[in-house]
Amino acid sequence: EEKELTEGRRAFDPVFINNQEICFLASTGEQTDIFKLRIGGQLEQLSHFPRGQRMQELAVSPDKQELAMAVFQDKKNYHAIATYRLPDNNYSEIFKDSSTVRNPLFTTNTNLVFARHETGGVNLFKTAISGGEITRLTNFSGLVVPYDLADR
Give residue-wise pLDDT tens across range 24-60: 999 877 789 999 999 877 889 999 888 888 889 999 9
Angle 104-106-109 from CA coordinates, rounded to 5°: 145
Can you tell me the distance from the alpha carbon of 84 to that of 33, in angstroms, rounded to the nearest whole number?
11
Give residue-wise pLDDT tens across range 69-121: 999 876 677 788 999 999 999 999 988 877 788 899 999 999 999 998 877 78
Compute the CA torsion angle 123, 149, 133, 15 (nearest 10 deg): 160
Can you tell me the distance from the alpha carbon of 14 to that of 127, in angstroms, rounded to the nearest whole number?
23
Distances (CA, A) of 31 to 49, 50, 73, 152: 7, 7, 9, 29
The answer to whether the CB of 68 falls within 8 A of the CB of 129 is yes
For residue 75, which of 108, 107, 51 has the smallest C-alpha distance?
Answer: 51
Q: Which residues pair with 67 in a beta bridge?
A: 60, 84
pTM: 0.83
